């Protein structure tokens, strides 16, 4: 059965996620850029890419996309947030009072590995993926205070960098910035 994958395209590296989905074998007819609640209705699952969480959160609220995403998540739609996407999906953000979608029962700590100049690549292993892979961390968050039903899928430098709660996935790294499609394949199988 064919599925249609949406990539939230308000800001951030959404084009790289589209390239990764193509590398997984999806056609352009199976990939949609999502900016509005109407566009969200045409997809079966959604990726929220990296970017700037305060700006994206405000724009999602302004255009009604935030509420539409929350409703689709309640209905069981698989949703994956990378880096900023994971922050935006958290229950709350450490030391910040900003909007979140509250899709993952975690606290997100922004810039857990340091500022932009501290960006790095490191090989990690992730539950559900057979082989270790290179992960790209750019001002990456970590997941703290995991609630009931949240599973740790990967850690890096003693920090939780991938979590799953039902059909909701959060990664603090950027799989779309590598040639590895294993994490995208994992999400497509949820």
The CATH number of the domain holding residue 63 is 3.40.50.880
Catalytic residue among 17, 83, 156, 184: 83
How many domains would you assign to the chain? 1
Contact 53, 27 (CB under 8 A): no
Tell me what pLDDT residue 1 has: 44
Look up 174 and say whether it is catalytic: yes
pTM (two decimals)? 0.96
Told to judge if 19 belongs to the known catalytic residues of this protein, a careful annotator would answer no
| Range of the structural domain that residue 182 is part of | 5-188
Residue in 17, 142, 156, 176 annotated catalytic: 176
Six-digit token pair at 73? Answer: 């998540």
Per-residue pLDDT for the chain (190 aa), expressed as one digit of tens each? 468 999 999 987 899 999 999 999 999 999 999 999 999 999 999 999 988 888 889 999 999 999 999 999 999 999 999 999 999 999 999 998 999 999 999 999 999 998 888 899 999 999 999 999 999 999 999 999 999 999 999 999 999 999 999 999 999 999 999 999 999 999 999 9
30 is catalytic: no
- 46 CB contacts (<8 Å, ≥6 apart)? 5, 6, 7, 8, 34, 40, 69, 72, 77, 78, 79, 80
- Per-residue CA distances from 1 to 44, 66, 101 (Å): 11, 28, 29
Query: Is residue 130 helix, strand or coil?
Result: coil
- Alpha helices in 63-144, H assignment, sequence order: 65-74, 84-89
């Amino acid at each position: 059965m064919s599925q249609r994958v949406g990539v939230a395209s308000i800001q951030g590296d959404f084009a790289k996620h589209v390239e990764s989905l193509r590398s997984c074998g999806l056609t352009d007819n199976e990939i949609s850029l999502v900016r509005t609640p109407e566009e969200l209705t045409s997809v079966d699952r959604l990726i929220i890419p990296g970017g700037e969480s305060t700006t994206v959160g405000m724009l999602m609220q302004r255009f009604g996309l935030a509420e539409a995403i929350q409703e689709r998540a309640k209905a069981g739609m698989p949703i994956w947030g990378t880096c900023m996407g994971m922050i935006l999906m958290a229950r709350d953000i450490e030391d910040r009072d900003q909007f979140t979608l509250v899709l993952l029962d975690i606290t997100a700590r922004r810039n857990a590995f340091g500022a932009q100049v501290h960006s790095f690549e490191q090989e990690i292993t992730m539950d559900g993926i057979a082989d270790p892979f290179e992960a790209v961390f750019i001002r990456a968050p970590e997941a703290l205070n995991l609630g009931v039903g949240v599973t740790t899928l990967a850690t890096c430098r003693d920090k939780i960098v991938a979590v799953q709660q039902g059909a909701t996935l959060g990664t603090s790294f950027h799989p779309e910035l590598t040639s590895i499609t294993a994490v995208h394949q994992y999400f497509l199988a949820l």
